[in-house]
Structure 1
């Protein structure tokens, strides 16, 4: 662990940096750059633009767009006037979008360029760069600032409420281990509607480094001038396969995903890229544990400002980054138990101070009297070079009760040959899938995580028999 970083600010983070590092570059979007002074001015102007459109303190503002600079301005301007900001996946089908927006009683919606709009009782916002003026709201770090929908991988998405203090503590804990300072730059390489993308913005605000927006030129081009990026393994693999890593300034990568191939991290290290991995969740504002990738199965040590314990095999967490609760139109619903712990439903153990995750309690099913953890089967299948992603779900079976079926995202578009032989010495007979299916396109639009619930519904519609 490096130096413990304090998340304490006495004013808005961008105001602090505009006073201390006025002319340093803070933000880059393609060829356009902003200094910290300009960032601070822009946020105030956009905040005034929101006020002029009737946005009030505690109003809920929704942004629906792919990653873009406007989404960053909107989030920070919303927080600046004391409103609550939520970004939603722009690929969400309109019916579900309606449900999500209604569930948080949104007052205003901003739609990005080319985004299909939906109508309702809310006001359609514009991003107006209004004349600079005084904005009344003061810095109150514990106020509700953002709403982030969980992936809904096992049920309906929930709106997770965080304060600026939650986000800054999340960032401070991670950056106490993974070095990122004023000389560094972090690419917004993951969606801002997901907690892992949102966390990049708050690490930037904490550190005073540079935030870099993605362009239409592609990931390799976007990485050319940045030192840090949050990636999934397939993205890193493509970068290494390009043979152009020598052109990059990339120093550190924070990897997400259930399985990080050891060969991948070794190859990256040879190119001078440090790979970090961890364990986290929306409710904790992103990362809870982290480590340098070392090929071992653990997911790292607990970061500062968090606590973790194992209770009857289940991971419990709490700390300064823990959500204020799940947000509904009726108010905030607490997520913690009476002792302040959030019961994650993740199954795990701590070995030599390092957390090991074994699966999820609510994914487990029983086949012929044996407990089956889909994650174990998924991890084995993900070691196959043709498989990019996989979700294992159960189907009913008269003899065994339930049996596993694997739904694959294959880089060839086909089910790899001889998968039964591939799993034979890696999985017990009762763990081996009775069927392999290719993931349909419509299940791939939900963001970073594929919805296990929707995959299960799709599989249930198929004529699969053991």
Structure 2
């Protein structure tokens, strides 16, 4: 699919009466959705000074309003930066200084008031019932090669970077995923991941690429939100919980789940299949506009093969990526700093291997640490821990040690509260002595519930350092 105009306008002209979007309260056709977008665009245009050169920060959780503003701002030519509302104000202030943010729309109940950033008002116009087919200002010509979105990286090794993508990259990412995973016009994908994460944006652009249906139901529980949905992007914990709910087990509209964020247990895949759900998994980065490799989940540890428009290679055990969805660069101080490419290849900082006819991701090179002179890759230990039948996922974190430099500590997610007392013995013959964790902790539910697509190692480490020090485990 090659678009010569804004995708939502294309579908409004091609299939105006088809359902485009489903909320908790109603459905919108493509014609109705474009009318809403145009109305919002008119309102925002009156408040913006030269929108085509502005960056607008969208602070909030997923909502119909936030999606409308994103699409309206894009067709005005503005660049958008969706922002996690849970980031502390000090971090946000640091970000806006480095990123030269001009405006902000705050969708939270406790908006931030930041120096030098003008708040835009969106509420009144979104609440209106509109019949406006074409905005007064009208959308700018569709120029998909221009910078459009700024998506923050996880910032696991320092301050997050703002990765700049154009619409071509987002659509090429969608094209790659949909060349493998079936998603048709009558299907509906739940916007189950945040728009401030590249995986949440991936859902939006797959919807727009295919002209299918998107569901935004953030105000209700996941089981109820999935009604009418054939597709969802979930982390394994969410799918485990879903499969355990008896009333949901009676009737599933869900057919395909794209899993991410952790190792995918075969038991989960098998149980889901018994309910008519196919599980898919993939590998990608913020810099690649989401997925570059994918496959239907199976018993092997790989992530499949590169999708259309993507290529991988190994350089000193590091995965390098070529992709038609690569970012333009990183936004800093009003400029795009290009990616450091080597003949068009992007160094991922992921340790990998090609084995059994597919690619395997062995961990982040940034995560490696040394203990008594021995190099430890946390993901190697986590792979063994995750093979335990009672462990859903695990994280190995380095803790400073006077004698060894660092020692590994394990944080596990499990329903077996007593497991931390017996893991050491279970691991004795499975790991080398220097790899064995010196302590084990259960992952707190607050970190799981606030994780989004994946848990942040930085957040786990911050929690662990406090907890570990309080218990004085050496």
Fold shared by both chains (TM-score > 0.5): yes
1:154 maps onto 2:157 in alignment: yes
1:108 maps onto 2:103 in alignment: yes
1:357 maps onto 2:365 in alignment: no
1:58 and 1:91, CA in 2 relative to 1: closer, same or farther beyond 3 A? Answer: same
Deviations 1:74-124 (A, max 9, x none): 110111000001111111111112222332211111111413323211111
**Higher mean Cα deviation, 410-419 or 312-321?**
410-419
1:122 and 1:436, CA in 2 relative to 1: closer, same or farther beyond 3 A? Answer: same
Q: Map 1:328-339; keep pairs closer than 5 Å.
A: 328-339=332-343
1:77 maps onto 2:72 in alignment: yes
Residue aligned with 1:57, SS = helix
Residue aligned with 2:73, SS = helix
Q: Map 1:34-433; keep pairs closer than 5 Å.
A: 34-55=28-49, 56-127=51-122, 128-129=125-126, 132-135=135-138, 137-243=140-246, 244-384=248-388, 387-411=391-415, 416-433=420-437
| Cα shift at 1:328 | 1.1
Deviations 1:325-347 (A, max 9, x none): 01112311112324121101100
C-alpha contact 1:153 1:450 (8 A) present in aligned 2: no
Deviations 1:146-176 (A, max 9, x none): 1110111222211111111000000000000
Residues in 2 aligned to 1:414 and 1:147: alpha-carbon distance in whole angstroms: 44
| Cα shift at 1:367 | 2.2
Residue aligned with 1:362, SS = helix
Residues in 2 aligned to 1:10 and 1:406: alpha-carbon distance in whole angstroms: 51
Structure 2, gaps ≥5 residues long: none
Residues in 2 aligned to 1:388 and 1:262: alpha-carbon distance in whole angstroms: 11
C-alpha contact 1:150 1:159 (8 A) present in aligned 2: yes
| Cα shift at 1:378 | 2.1
Partner of 1:3: none
Deviations 1:370-399 (A, max 9, x none): 321111222333344554543322223344
1:49 and 1:293, CA in 2 relative to 1: closer, same or farther beyond 3 A? Answer: same
Residues in 2 aligned to 1:138 and 1:238: alpha-carbon distance in whole angstroms: 45
Residues in 1 aligned to 2:197 and 2:430: alpha-carbon distance in whole angstroms: 33
C-alpha contact 1:389 1:409 (8 A) present in aligned 2: yes
1:276 and 1:441, CA in 2 relative to 1: closer, same or farther beyond 3 A? Answer: closer
Deviations 1:202-235 (A, max 9, x none): 0000000000012433101111211000000011
Residues in 2 aligned to 1:217 and 1:457: alpha-carbon distance in whole angstroms: 30
Residues in 2 aligned to 1:170 and 1:141: alpha-carbon distance in whole angstroms: 13
Residues in 2 aligned to 1:380 and 1:90: alpha-carbon distance in whole angstroms: 35
Residues in 2 aligned to 1:417 and 1:465: alpha-carbon distance in whole angstroms: 14
Q: How many residues matched? A: 460
1:87 and 1:292, CA in 2 relative to 1: closer, same or farther beyond 3 A? Answer: same
C-alpha contact 1:192 1:198 (8 A) present in aligned 2: yes
C-alpha contact 2:255 2:278 (8 A) present in aligned 1: yes
Partner of 2:20: 26
Residues in 2 aligned to 1:240 and 1:442: alpha-carbon distance in whole angstroms: 21
Residue aligned with 1:297, SS = coil
| Cα shift at 1:410 | 4.7
Residue aligned with 1:109, SS = strand
C-alpha contact 2:62 2:218 (8 A) present in aligned 1: no
1:9 maps onto 2:32 in alignment: no
Partner of 1:448: 453
Residue aligned with 2:341, SS = coil
| Cα shift at 1:317 | 0.6
C-alpha contact 1:408 1:415 (8 A) present in aligned 2: no
**Higher mean Cα deviation, 44-53 or 431-440?**
431-440
1:270 and 1:308, CA in 2 relative to 1: closer, same or farther beyond 3 A? Answer: same
Residue aligned with 1:394, SS = strand
Residues in 1 aligned to 2:411 and 2:379: alpha-carbon distance in whole angstroms: 13
Residue aligned with 2:287, SS = helix
C-alpha contact 1:111 1:117 (8 A) present in aligned 2: yes
Structure showing the higher helix proportion among its residues: 2
Residues in 1 aligned to 2:403 and 2:99: alpha-carbon distance in whole angstroms: 45
Residue aligned with 1:63, SS = strand
1:393 and 1:274, CA in 2 relative to 1: closer, same or farther beyond 3 A? Answer: same
1:372 and 1:291, CA in 2 relative to 1: closer, same or farther beyond 3 A? Answer: same
Deviations 1:291-320 (A, max 9, x none): 001110111110011111111100001211
